[in-house]
Amino acid sequence: MALKQALEIFELLSGARVTGAQVVDLLRSRGVGDLKVERVQGPKGRTDFVSGAIAGAAGGPVLGIIGRLGGVGARPNAIGLVSDADGAIVTLAAALKLADMAATGDSLPGTVRFATHICPNAPTIPHEPVPFMNSPVDMDTMNRMEVHPDMAAILSVDTTRGNRLVNKRGMAITPTVKQGYVLRVAEPLLDLLSWVTGELPMVLPITTQDITPYGNGLHHVNSILQPCTATSAPVVGVALTAQSTVPGPATGVSNIFDIEQATRFCIEVAKLYGAGRCPFYASDEWTNLQTRYGSLEHLQTMGKNTP
C-alpha cells in the first residue's frame, strides 16, 4: 500500500507556493540522498525540475519513472491542484515509498531513477476535445531535464483524461515504444496491471503521431510518450484515465485511490524489472523488425520541413 505516501505528496503539491526545494526536502528527510532540483525559466514562466535515484541492492538495470505534466496548478486561472498533476504525484509518491521500503530493509534489485517538474501556475492551451495544460518550458527542455541516459527502460506517467479513447476510470498502459516503433504491449506489464488493479488490464491506443515530437503540427493524445523521442530505451506510458472527458486544467478531479494504484503499479514494475524479470519488449522480435524494415528513428525527429 502506498496511500500514505500518495497523500503526503498530494497535500504538498496542492500548495499555491509549492517549490521543488520543498519536495527535495521531504525526500531527503526520508533517506533519498541522490537528489537534484533545478529551476528553469521559460517563455511562459518557470518551473522546478526534481530528479533523483534510489539505488538498487544488486546492481540490476535502471528503471526510469518520469512524471509528465504541464503543471501541478494553473493559477491564477484555477485554484488548487489540477488534473494534470497526477503524473508528478505518482512519480514522487513512488520515490517516497521506495525510500521508506529501503529504510525498513526492502531494497530493490535495480536502481530506480525518477524525474518530474513542479509548477503551481502553469498556463493552459486550447485543445480538442478539452483544453490542455501548457508548460512554462518547451518539450526539448523537459526531455533534456527528465530523460536520463542511465534509464534502460522508462515508465512515463501522465494524466490522460482529456480524450475519448479510454472510457473507464482508473489506469491504462500503452504499447511499448522504441526508436520510432510501436511494439506489442508487454505481457509482463499486462500481468502486473491486472494484479495491482484486480481487473482486466486497460490499454491506451496510440498512433504514429503520438510518438513524434511536439511542435510538428500533428495531433498528439498528450505528452505521455514524448520521452520516447529523446532516448533509445523502451518507453511505456502509464495513463490515469476517466470515464468522462476531463480537462487537464480542471480542479477537484484527481482521485487519490487511482493515484495510489498507479504508484503501486510503478513500484511492482520496478521490483521485477530490476531483477530482470519484466522485459518491456521481446529482443528477438526487435532484431527481426530491424533486419526486415530498418530504422524508424526519423520518427524521433521533427522530420522534413513542410511548405
What's the sign of the alpha-carbon dihedral 197, 93, 11, 221?
A: negative
Give the list of residues 6+ apart from residue 86 with CB closer than 8 angstroms, or none.
69, 157, 158, 159, 240, 254, 258, 259, 262
Domain ranges of the chain: 3-300
Distances (CA, A) of 58 to 17, 108, 271, 287, 293: 39, 8, 12, 28, 37
Please name the fold of domain 3-300.
Answer: Aminopeptidase (3.40.630)
With contact defined as beta carbons under 8 Å apart, do 176 and 280 qualify? yes
Of the candidates 260, 93, 239, which has an alpha carbon nearest to the alpha carbon of residue 172?
Answer: 239
With contact defined as beta carbons under 8 Å apart, do 180 and 295 qualify? yes
Q: CA 226 to CA 300: how far, in whole Å? A: 9
Amino acid letter, residue 72: V
Residue 306's pLDDT is what?
Answer: 60
Residue 127's pLDDT is what?
Answer: 76
Residue 224's pLDDT is what?
Answer: 97
Residue 154's pLDDT is what?
Answer: 98
Relative to beta strand 132-133, strand 60-68 is unpaired
- Cell, residue 241: 484515465
Residue 305's pLDDT is what?
Answer: 77
With contact defined as beta carbons under 8 Å apart, do 242 and 165 qualify? no
**Per-residue pLDDT tens digits of the chain, which is 307 residues long:** 999 999 999 999 999 999 999 999 999 999 998 999 999 998 889 999 999 999 998 888 999 999 999 999 999 988 999 999 999 999 999 999 999 999 999 999 999 999 999 999 999 888 777 777 899 999 999 999 999 999 999 999 999 998 999 999 999 999 999 999 999 999 999 999 999 999 999 999 999 999 999 999 999 999 999 999 999 999 999 999 999 999 989 999 999 999 999 999 999 999 999 999 999 999 999 999 999 999 999 999 999 876 5
Residue 133's pLDDT is what?
Answer: 87
Q: CA 24 to CA 169: how far, in whole Å? A: 31
Q: CA 13 to CA 32: how far, in whole Å? A: 19
